[in-house]
Structure 1
């Protein structure tokens, strides 16, 4: 083992003729020609990879769901499928951290990407056969797959970055992920540009299926967490010798050692419940087919803007992290009452669910973008800000969880708790919609859960977020040592940026 002066002027770690020096830039590192390319195992590249997987799988799913009713006129099939989806998601998601830690993140992601294509195919089948049983099965199967995928994704996003860049990493992921939904929303918008009523076209479903399939294959190209080395030359804290017993025990220890995490559970529960009202009871019930597609596009575009704004604000290094946590909490409270207060002002002026399901309303009562003025411009901006709010809520939760620990093992368990409880909340609210409760009732329950969960989580968000979590503290939840998580000289990478 020796060092040589590379062409870039940096000392480059080499091991005989296996090493070459590549050009400067974050995508290029001094790596072995035969062996693991360390630039590919960097947090940034792995974040890009998982972002593209979610771009193609959940991103397309979000665009499909954003149409309201899964692109169908009657939302019954999607309601039943969503109850099945989020019910299995809740169970699998809660324990998925154990599977991710035992099987490895790459294999967990690969398995998790399988269900999206089948789910989309079930709606294509439903358009021709009205086989609701297939749709419900596809929803349940997707819940199993999504529980694994999102837990592995959360572990990567929270544990791979260094502490001072977690907000940016979360925002980069959220931008790429939601860019999938933005682009996917252009597909039904283009294909249904002249369509004011009826389900979306077969071509819309087929396009989604192809893209989702590509995402499932792409998941196989990630590396496992033990190969990743951060910019500060540390590795992700895991378990050297994970077993099913050790990981189920770790699941319990995550709660037993820090029981105040339970105060975050209502916030987890509330983090997806608003999709039911927004996609089905607002967008799906009151707008024409093409206008629903446009609203969906604007919703996911707003997510990109919200994620970028919030992610970079959460990483303002001149302000202590504990102070940023308090500011983020105040911002969440403000948005919850401003945006949802405006939403209530709009909702109380709308017709009932029974009226929206009448043939007369479907023919003449739906709002189209050509209506303009108060009829469309106001709710268009409201729907946009619903998307902005979603991004702020989600990125804040991920950032708060990432601030609690830098351990990949603990992050996987937290992500599992988050996605499992989140899905339980979604299952409850999709079921409420399936029972055809009044729109006003579902709106009020949604707003009440959001506001109440912030109140319950306040002690954790305001007082438990530290300015720094030490390696020694994270190692209490692992069988690794400091030597295991500090990259050796043969693994040290050259960083060309601060």
Structure 2
């Protein structure tokens, strides 16, 4: 059998067939044999979602148990304080690192810290070595700062403007599915544990294996310079990045749009509620198996919240600027409706001193108690999960609406995760100092409400219906011709030199 060259059909005028390049067409893009669809934004998003499913998703399942699965939450409080302290410092510069090393290497290294963190609690089950747990927390802060910045870059800059909400919801669904499945592990292993005990060694081993798999999976990602959107356009980066240009870009992110600092309180508040919800609500008042069930329901509710808000934020019949304002109003209502319900529940609960008393064992709630004692708090905890997804989805969408540049998105994601982690470190430390449950609740609710007030001008005035390519190219040495779709490269030399 002879090899035949792939040719175009003979035209009607009888002209000779024209040879076609190897590969095939995908939505108007000629894809080479080695690239195919793999470098498309949706495939890369699904891959990074699976990495987060296996790494931070399992971490969330472990944290959601309260105390990292321990009856005494003091070791986990110290580890979390160390974690979010290093996270806050590293994340500020992780956008620069991600732009230099690429998202693949940044994400893979970031995933390793999660496995070591789970291993530290396995060790703690046997030798009570708190130092190892705190060290693992500090290391995880470094790794998580890198992982989440790379993830944010992919999620905010790869999709087109009209699909960013859906991409965020896809990611948040898969990521939180990791926490749901991860929470089923301790639920199954502790389903008959009607008392309050530490989770088993098998729970920690299971988390370790899954987290390591996530770090390996990150190595299969493409770097941002290979990404092609469905219209053939590329992600805006920097042709010739250096450490100097990236630190300048970090500075420019603030100086060219100083109003972005009004979003910082939202960033700061975005992880503070986990401390109250996991330790002071779930960990303090429910026994081991009920904590595991609550954990499963919490992360399931996050999936629902992400889908609802992700699709609503992309609703094509309404202009993007209007959608931004509507989402802000809904967030404001949810903040006072859900947390108002939480206040009605919290004011009826016993003090921390009673729950943590060494003299009299506090009778924690079991799912068989039913009625007002369990069913009401169960739904409240589910609404807390829904609210968390709504808050996080909106923040990512707001940042994505401010720019389509991968370079700028990395810096924004770094600011977001750094400030977010500073807030988390403060609240984990407050919990470690045994502040009253009422104080932890009030501080969390007040911060959320205040953050929305500060963010209002940005959401109301700065989010436009679209961001021009020329605006985003101010943060790059690329030209319009470098990033637009091949069939749209009709820019004349005057336009290119102006850019």
TM-score, length-normalised on structure 2? 0.93
Q: Is the Cα contact below 8 Å between 1:42 and 1:228 reproduced in 2?
A: yes
Alpha-carbon distance in 2 for matches of 1:15, 1:81: 62
Q: Is the Cα contact below 8 Å between 2:7 and 2:20 reproduced in 1?
A: no
Question: Residue 159 of structure 1: which of 157, 167, 172 is its match?
Answer: 157
Note the C-alpha offset of 1:360: 6.4
Alpha-carbon distance in 2 for matches of 1:143, 1:4: 55
Alpha-carbon distance in 2 for matches of 1:63, 1:295: 11
Question: Residue 426 of structure 1: which of 407, 424, 445 is its match?
Answer: 424
- Alignment-derived partner of residue 315 in structure 2: 316
SS at match of 1:113: helix
SS at match of 1:52: helix
Alpha-carbon distance in 2 for matches of 1:163, 1:3: 36
- Alignment-derived partner of residue 18 in structure 1: 22
Alpha-carbon distance in 2 for matches of 1:206, 1:395: 31
- Alignment-derived partner of residue 304 in structure 2: 305
Note the C-alpha offset of 1:29: 8.2
1:83-482 alignment, distance < 5 Å: 83-195=81-193, 196-359=195-358, 362=361, 365-482=363-480
Closer, same or farther: CA 3–361 of 1 in aligned 2, 3 Å: farther
Deviations 1:334-354 (CA, angstroms, capped at 9, x unpaired): 000000000010001000111
- Alignment-derived partner of residue 493 in structure 2: none
Structure having the higher Rg: 2
Deviations 1:456-477 (CA, angstroms, capped at 9, x unpaired): 1110011110000011111111
Closer, same or farther: CA 15–81 of 1 in aligned 2, 3 Å: farther
Q: Return structure 1 stretches of 4+ with deviation > 6 angstroms.
A: none
Deviations 1:304-353 (CA, angstroms, capped at 9, x unpaired): 00000000000011100000000000000000000000001000100011
SS at match of 1:465: coil
- Alignment-derived partner of residue 495 in structure 1: none
CA RMSD of aligned residues (A): 1.9
Note the C-alpha offset of 1:368: 0.2
SS at match of 1:80: helix
Closer, same or farther: CA 346–84 of 1 in aligned 2, 3 Å: same
Structure 1: 5+ residue stretches without partners: 6-13, 492-498
Q: Is the Cα contact below 8 Å between 1:302 and 1:385 reproduced in 2?
A: yes
Note the C-alpha offset of 1:365: 1.1
Alpha-carbon distance in 2 for matches of 1:482, 1:139: 44
Deviations 1:436-481 (CA, angstroms, capped at 9, x unpaired): 0000001000001000000011100111100000111111111000
Note the C-alpha offset of 1:4: 3.6
Alpha-carbon distance in 1 for matches of 2:322, 2:264: 22
SS at match of 2:475: coil
Deviations 1:67-95 (CA, angstroms, capped at 9, x unpaired): 00000000000000000000000000111
Closer, same or farther: CA 371–408 of 1 in aligned 2, 3 Å: same
Deviations 1:349-375 (CA, angstroms, capped at 9, x unpaired): 00011111125664x610000000000
Closer, same or farther: CA 284–117 of 1 in aligned 2, 3 Å: same
Alpha-carbon distance in 2 for matches of 1:361, 1:464: 56
Q: Is the Cα contact below 8 Å between 1:162 and 1:232 reproduced in 2?
A: no
- Alignment-derived partner of residue 48 in structure 2: 50
Note the C-alpha offset of 1:123: 0.3
Alpha-carbon distance in 2 for matches of 1:431, 1:208: 25
Using the TM superposition, name which of 400-409 and 353-362 deviates more.
353-362
Alpha-carbon distance in 2 for matches of 1:212, 1:443: 31
Closer, same or farther: CA 361–182 of 1 in aligned 2, 3 Å: farther
Q: Is the Cα contact below 8 Å between 2:29 and 2:230 reproduced in 1?
A: no
Q: Is the Cα contact below 8 Å between 2:41 and 2:228 reproduced in 1?
A: yes
TM-score, length-normalised on structure 1? 0.93
Alpha-carbon distance in 2 for matches of 1:29, 1:238: 20
Closer, same or farther: CA 475–349 of 1 in aligned 2, 3 Å: same
Alpha-carbon distance in 2 for matches of 1:71, 1:198: 8
Alpha-carbon distance in 1 for matches of 2:448, 2:106: 31
Note the C-alpha offset of 1:36: 2.5
Using the TM superposition, name which of 188-197 and 53-62 deviates more.
188-197
- Alignment-derived partner of residue 32 in structure 1: 32
